[in-house]
Amino acid sequence: MKGIILAVLSLSGLSFAFGLLLAWVSKKFYIKLDARVAKISDLLPGVNCGACGLSGCSSLAEALVGKKADVNSCTVCAADSKEKIAEVLGLSASDIKEIKSPIAVVACGGGKRAKDKFEYRGLMDCRVAHNNMRGHKLCSYACLGLGTCVEACAFGAIVMTEDDIPVVNPELCVGCLKCVEACPRDIIYMLDRKKKVYIKCRSHEKGPQVMKSCKVGCIGCMKCVKICPVKAITIEDNLAVIDHKKCINCLKCVEVCPTKAIAVV
């Protein structure tokens, strides 16, 4: 009995000692949080899309208070919210600028027109389908049409057409890159909003092989190269490539493309 009492007292003493130690450590290493971080977090959209280059809205709030980010970093934030954030940070209205993020474009126009090599009956996820024999499409570059990019977009900027092709709404796209990360085929990329033309294909197969699997793919015919007045288009590994620094949006390449593989945003 005496031994049990001693054991209980010993444990109680140790618990008390550890409690004091933890209290001292927490006080010693306490980091005072800036109240502005919470205020700014409440003003940010809270979607944690990553368009600002940080892991989430709370990280951006901390970066803004620590002067490691610009008030214009968030492309999703509404104008009135930015004004309130600037006020919290002690900035003026002149520090707020409207920044247009790039928009996502889908470099594939195949959809149902891109032939299948087998019938897919697995999970409706492009990543899963891609890992199954590199997908069910005969063209190994084709969009699988299962809508994983649609689910990844937190802003409803992508919808699937009846032809199983994802289409991006430029008005809703904030350039967060979530769809780019979600696509296992690497056919979604970002385009400057000022540019209107892009290649709606990623296939590097030769023309005859492209036509066997998809009638709307780039066949490397050179017509776009020849008609471009500023030499902004080249053929690289059987695929037309636009140098957007040179492109003047004349749309002549769109007009001459026989397969309509060059599209307007």
Do the beta carbons of residue 28 and residue 48 sit within 8 Å?
no
Task: Work out the pLDDT band at 184, boundaries 50, 70, 90.
Answer: very high
pLDDT beyond 80 at 198: yes
Closest to 175 measured CA to CA, from 43, 76, 38, 72? 76
Beta-bridge mates of residue 214: 114
Task: For each of the domains in the chain, give its residue range(s) and CATH number, in order of start.
Answer: 35-95 (1.10.15.40), 100-193 (3.30.70.20), 198-265 (3.30.70.20)
Comparison of pLDDT for 242 and 94, the residue scoring more: 242
pTM surpassing 0.75? Answer: yes
Q: Which of 43-57, 153-167, 196-210, 237-251 has the lowest mean pLDDT?
A: 43-57
Long-range contacts of 134-140, Cβ-Cβ distance < 8 Å, separation of 24 or more: 135/185, 137/110, 137/213, 138/114, 138/212, 138/213, 138/214, 139/110, 139/114, 139/115, 139/203, 139/205, 139/210, 139/213, 139/214, 139/217
Closest to 214 measured CA to CA, from 184, 187, 243, 253? 187
pLDDT beyond 50 at 186: yes
pLDDT beyond 70 at 7: no
Q: What is the pLDDT of residues 199-222, one digit of tens each?
A: 999 999 999 999 999 999 999 999
